Structure 1
Amino acid sequence: MRSPKFRLLGLAVAPLIFLSACGSDGDADNASQTAAGDDAAATSIAPNGTVEDVTLTEADVEGSTVPALELAKTPLSVAETSVQEIEAGEGETTTAEQDVELRYLAVNGTTGEEILSTFPTDETVVMSLSNPNLLPGFLNGLVGTKPGQSMILAMSPQDAFGAAGNAQLGIGPNDTVIFYVEVVKATTPLTQAEGEAVEPVEGLPTVEADGTSPATITIPEGEEPPSELVVQPLIKGEGAEIQAGQQVRMQYTGVQWSDGELFDTSLQEGREAFETVIGAGQVIQGWDEGLVGQTVGSRVLLVIPPAMGYGAAQEDGPGYELKDETLVFVVDILAAQ
């Protein structure tokens, strides 16, 4: 049976502007978003334009020239999501299973105000087109694009944040959201560990894993749990090393050392690969310390003493029932950005 306790210590880190409202954050969050949307509804208007009412211009930000968007009218509202291509791309078209790396600028069509932009810092973000929580406008608008392609995307309210709006971004329930997007590249992410097998270490739990179902982890009989964190690669991936602060996508299985009982796994029907920031205090300490420095494509065995797991968990808090347990995880590192 799925336990949510581990996942509650992770944080969904896909950029907020890309994600639709969902119930996992609790009724209180949804209520606050709805309330903010009600306030903004008074300024919403009936559809009165198209993506052709948006022009790509330039702005000066601290001495650097960056893209900007100019609206022919404010407020601007579109009935259907539409695209205005600025430059054509080259190469293979992206598919719904790929990750797309891009730069973007977002503007609220109702107010004309900029919401977010990656251009002043020349950053890129990676969006998983297989993520069902993406805004519908992105799920439909980015499949079929090519590296080097740039476009203006006018996203209708129903393809953006819909009735919930997004209070944190100042977006109401009837706001059109306008994006300027530059596609950098698309990649097909790993679905399981891939690399060179590493010789098992005597005295550690043994692992049978196929990458598609929960790993079978066998605790060595008669062995006391280690008092220090153990990090043992089982497969050495050929990808880049994980750096603290990166967003990492993983599949994992976790069992208790005391009896080998499974307490959580991402490899379960209906669940997606787990994504979080590593090395930033958003997951338990054993993950933060154990996964930094490992490589993409690796399968890693983590044996985590209570003090680096849930030892400090409060009663009725996430992981409290595991506070005295040494935890054993098998983690497949699929991607990092």
Structure 2
Amino acid sequence: MRSPSFRLLGLAVAPLIFLSACGSDDGGEGTDDASQSTGADDAAATSIAPNGTAEDVTLTEADVEGTTVPALELGKTPLSVGETSVQELEPGEGEGATAEQDVELKYLAVNGTTGEEILSTFTTDETVSMSLANPNLLPGFLNTLEGTKPGQTMIIAMSPEDGFGAQGNPQLGIGPADTVVFYVEVVGATTPLTQAEGEEVEPKEGLPTVEADGTSPATITIPEGEEPPTELVVQPLIKGEGAEIQSGQSVRMQYTGVQWSDGSQFDTSLQEGREAFETVIGAGQVIPGWDEGLVGQTVGSRVLLVIPPEMAYGELQEEDPAATAAPQQHELAGETLVFVVDILAAN
């Protein structure tokens, strides 16, 4: 049985600006029809007629605490585009990125309506990685970044339809009618792993045994007569050669989870119709056993996690006969959970 709540704990993916809104697993419960109608009216009332393209934007420079970083100057404010447009500044060299690859880049984002900067990686000289195979990537990126080459730079004026749509992105101050303007420097593209790759590791005795091919759900067998461990167990089965996972990174994984009590599978990402699972590790977006157990592991690794209840969904609470309602608790409360996780990428 798949656990919807386990998936929900991992929905926050960085960087958020690259991802469109995803529907939650609760089927939209609690949505108020009246508020939806009001939101649509507000979007219509604040819509801006298209009045420009990416060619109306100029790349300039700004001084941030003594460091010169790229900046964008809009030819008009507000700037609104009906269709996403691109102004190429430098063509780049080498092979173009394919739809199966991850593109590494630096970027600056500006709200076309207000002219205000939204986010920039140039102040910290960091790069971010985007999966062109991720269906939740903003359409404006899916349609423009395939084929880009290392060293290529461009200005993208992204229409609301190809960006955040009618919902906008309130967290980033982006309204439903806002064009978002990006300056992008492409660093390169890599083909992500599809399963663990590296040196096999002999596990300690007394742990669950694992049969895994990386393409179908792992078979995890609980040892007979063994009591579940009371502390978190982190056992690499394959040691990958990639970088170590750092707290706060977005990590892409394939996984299978079973219950220690009866060995039954409750969730797996390796089933038809599902993508590799991607979440921020070490930031409270998943259960504590994942946050603690995966930080420090390396990309390419296959890791066995045995997670006691207090680091999963908590101890099972006894019902109070005097209470008017049963205690609210997760369906996996009280369970020791066993996961096999293939770490495919981190950024």
Q: Which interval holds the TM-score relative to the shorter structure? A: over 0.9
Give the aligned partner of residue 66 of structure 1: 69
Give the aligned partner of residue 53 of structure 1: 56
Indicate yes or no: 2:13 matched with 1:9: no
The answer (yes or no) to whether the contact 1:297–1:335 under 8 Å persists in 2 is yes
Shift of 1:39: 4.0
CA distance in 1 between partners of 2:223 and 2:343 (Å): 25
The answer (yes or no) to whether the contact 1:251–1:331 under 8 Å persists in 2 is yes
The answer (yes or no) to whether the contact 2:245–2:298 under 8 Å persists in 1 is yes
Q: Per the alignment, in what secondary structure is the counterpart of residue 187 of structure 2?
A: strand
Shift of 1:10: 2.0
1:163-312 matches, cutoff 5 A: 163-311=166-314
Q: Per the alignment, in what secondary structure is the counterpart of residue 259 of structure 1?
A: coil
Paired residues, what number?
A: 335
1:325 to 303, 310, 335: 335
CA distance in 2 between partners of 1:158 and 1:22 (Å): 15
The answer (yes or no) to whether the contact 1:34–1:165 under 8 Å persists in 2 is no
Q: Per the alignment, in what secondary structure is the counterpart of residue 271 of structure 2?
A: coil
Shift of 1:252: 0.7
The answer (yes or no) to whether the contact 1:225–1:326 under 8 Å persists in 2 is yes
CA distance in 2 between partners of 1:71 and 1:115 (Å): 14
CA distance in 1 between partners of 2:158 and 2:295 (Å): 38
Shift of 1:53: 0.8
Shift of 1:108: 1.6
CA distance in 2 between partners of 1:90 and 1:27 (Å): 49
The 1:194–1:34 alpha-carbon spacing in structure 2 relative to 1, beyond 3 Å, is farther
The 1:137–1:292 alpha-carbon spacing in structure 2 relative to 1, beyond 3 Å, is same
Give the TM-score normalised by structure 1: 0.92
The answer (yes or no) to whether the contact 1:101–1:184 under 8 Å persists in 2 is yes
- Please say which of residues 85-94 and 308-317 is displaced more in the overlay: 308-317
Residue-by-residue CA offset, 1:289-320 (whole Å, 9 max, x unaligned):
21122111111111111122111588445xx1
Shift of 1:37: 6.9
Q: Which amino acid aligns with 2:251?
A: V
Q: Per the alignment, in what secondary structure is the counterpart of residue 168 of structure 1?
A: helix
The answer (yes or no) to whether the contact 2:12–2:285 under 8 Å persists in 1 is no
Give the aligned partner of residue 334 of structure 1: 344
CA distance in 1 between partners of 2:64 and 2:36 (Å): 31
Residue-by-residue CA offset, 1:165-218 (whole Å, 9 max, x unaligned):
222222222221111001111111111001111224322111111111111101
CA distance in 2 between partners of 1:55 and 1:46 (Å): 21
The 1:166–1:281 alpha-carbon spacing in structure 2 relative to 1, beyond 3 Å, is closer
CA distance in 2 between partners of 1:60 and 1:34 (Å): 44
- Please say which of residues 294-303 and 106-115 is displaced more in the overlay: 106-115
Shift of 1:240: 1.4
Shift of 1:246: 1.9
Shift of 1:36: 6.2
Shift of 1:30: 9.6
Give the aligned partner of residue 83 of structure 1: 86
The 1:132–1:206 alpha-carbon spacing in structure 2 relative to 1, beyond 3 Å, is same
- Please say which of residues 27-36 and 54-63 is displaced more in the overlay: 27-36
CA distance in 2 between partners of 1:169 and 1:28 (Å): 23
The answer (yes or no) to whether the contact 2:106–2:185 under 8 Å persists in 1 is yes
Shift of 1:83: 0.9
- Please say which of residues 79-88 and 10-19 is displaced more in the overlay: 10-19
Shift of 1:43: 3.9
Structure 2 unaligned blocks of 5 or more = 318-326
CA distance in 1 between partners of 2:315 and 2:76 (Å): 55
Q: Per the alignment, in what secondary structure is the counterpart of residue 256 of structure 2?
A: strand
CA distance in 1 between partners of 2:78 and 2:208 (Å): 61
CA distance in 2 between partners of 1:34 and 1:229 (Å): 48
CA distance in 2 between partners of 1:121 and 1:313 (Å): 45
Give the TM-score normalised by structure 2: 0.90
Q: Which amino acid aligns with 2:9?
A: L
Question: Aligned-pair RMSD on alpha carbons?
Answer: 2.2
Q: Per the alignment, in what secondary structure is the counterpart of residue 161 of structure 2?
A: helix
1:17-32 matches, cutoff 5 A: 17-24=17-24, 26=28
Residue-by-residue CA offset, 1:120-174 (whole Å, 9 max, x unaligned):
1222211111111111010011000011111001112211122222222222222
